[in-house]
Amino acid sequence: MRRLALFKGTRAAVRRQGFQKDVRLIANATSAHCIQALAHEALGSANTEALTRDDRVSKELATALRQVLISTKDVPLTDGYRRNLRHEGHNLNLAFGSLTVFVTFNFADNYAPLLFKLCNGEEVIGDITCDLSAEQPDMPSLHRMQQFIAESPRAQVQFFKLMDDIVDIYFMGIDGSFIGQHHVQHVFSHTLREDRFPCTCIPGLGGFGIAELEPFESQARGFQHGHRKVYKIPATRENDVVRLFREQDPAVLHTLLQDLQQALISCAESLQYEASTLPATQMGQNVPAEKFTTKQQLQSRLDGGLDLDGTHRQLLETTPQDGGGRGGETRRGELSEASEKSTPGF
């Protein structure tokens, strides 16, 4: 699929107006131009788009790289694809106004009972009985689950698409989204639709959704996750905002700024940070502390170091690395046994 997308993008780039003029420059690009660009230390870590705009890169090399960006706009994991996503996001802002919801869902990718079922096709392996109807199904170790997923990557893909569809339909109220060739199943027949909005006619987290963009990001473990932004109706568009600020009456501008300030304060009051261990604390359960690595400690400056004014910074201790990746063979059923005994009744 990547090769077909690359061929398709190359064909479109070759047929575009002005390509014949660029061919002359591309033909004159040599390895010496690449070495000259790499000689600049600041360009060593620059992406393809940054290189095309830099004056220190030769015109021949910049033209060739610009052609690569155009040819790879539909090829995932390339700079051309990332630039195309950024342009799509800007187009949505112009067409539908500012976004309503920006949210990132992280699924239980490596340790989901349903994924265990998809990988194995049965609920019993050895002494492990994974009953999907149970409140806490018995599961193998994380290391064993990673082995199952490595043996069946297709099951992981199917599980990710299922979870992403559930989020679209039941959280966002959208049933017209798609990932590549996979399309979310419509809630009702398309013959009953009177517009082209991808909304299920049920308000979601952002109201009645009319557009959505979800670039995926790798996490170097398990699934990627998508940064989803959703637009709704009614929405204020960019030209409407510009028109409001061009108002000549000072009283109208003063009222507008006051309304914006109040809206910002109301939004800030509604935001709340919830630790991942907060629900367990509220239920009276003892769970391990949130993961906090040495790198996070340094980046957040919660290392107890000394500031320039002589005061000591707050110290937040790091948590030990879990052993689930290689040597952690403890099953979830054994870990939750003490928790089940102390769970209060309702």
Instruction: Reply yes or no on whether the pLDDT at 238 is more than 70.
Output: no
Task: Specify whether 8 is located in the same domain as 128.
Answer: no
Instruction: Reply yes or no on whether the pLDDT at 170 is more than 70.
Output: yes
Type of residue found at 307 = D
Task: Specify whether 61 is located in the same domain as 168.
Answer: no
Instruction: Tell me the three-class secondary structure of 164-193, residue by residue.
Output: HHHHHHHHCCECCCEECCEECCCCCCHHHC
Domain boundary among 235, 269, 301: 235
Task: Specify whether 40 is located in the same domain as 140.
Answer: no
Residue 259 located in a structural domain = no
Residue 251 located in a structural domain = no
Contact yes or no for 73/81 (Cβ under 8 A): yes
Residue 321 located in a structural domain = yes
Task: Specify whether 41 is located in the same domain as 168.
Answer: no
Domain boundary among 190, 208, 235: 235
Task: Specify whether 192 is located in the same domain as 164.
Answer: yes
**Lowest-confidence segment of 105-114, 232-241, 309-318 by average pLDDT:** 232-241
Average pLDDT over residues 28-46: 75
Task: Specify whether 121 is located in the same domain as 229.
Answer: yes
pLDDT at 179: 85
pTM of the model: 0.61
Query: Model confidence at 254, in pLDDT bands (50, 70, 90)?
Result: confident
Residue 271 located in a structural domain = no
Task: Specify whether 112 is located in the same domain as 196.
Answer: yes
Nearby residues of 240 by Cβ (< 8 Å), 6 or more positions away: 97
Q: Hey, is 84 helix, strand or coil? A: helix
Nearby residues of 46 by Cβ (< 8 Å), 6 or more positions away: 54
DSSP 298: H
pLDDT at 328: 45
Residue 186 located in a structural domain = yes
The domain tally of the chain equals 3
**Between 315 and 321, the higher pLDDT residue:** 315
Instruction: Reply yes or no on whether the pLDDT at 305 is more than 60.
Output: yes
Residue 114 located in a structural domain = yes
Which residue in the block uniquely carries the two structure tokens 């390895």?
Answer: 31
Mean predicted lDDT score pLDDT of the chain: 79
pLDDT at 337: 46
Task: Specify whether 223 is located in the same domain as 123.
Answer: yes
Query: Model confidence at 77, in pLDDT bands (50, 70, 90)?
Result: confident
Average pLDDT over residues 55-64: 83
Task: Specify whether 105 is located in the same domain as 172.
Answer: yes
Residue 283 located in a structural domain = no
Instruction: Reply yes or no on whether the pLDDT at 214 is more than 80.
Output: yes
Q: Tell me the residue range of the domain where 324 lies.
A: 290-328
Task: Specify whether 54 is located in the same domain as 117.
Answer: no
Task: Specify whether 148 is located in the same domain as 220.
Answer: yes
Task: Specify whether 104 is located in the same domain as 228.
Answer: yes
Taking only the tens place, the pLDDT of each residue in 99-151 is: 888 888 888 777 888 888 888 766 566 677 777 787 778 888 888 888 888 88
Indicate the angle between helix axes 113-120 and 142-151, nearest 10 degrees: 40
Residue 179 located in a structural domain = yes
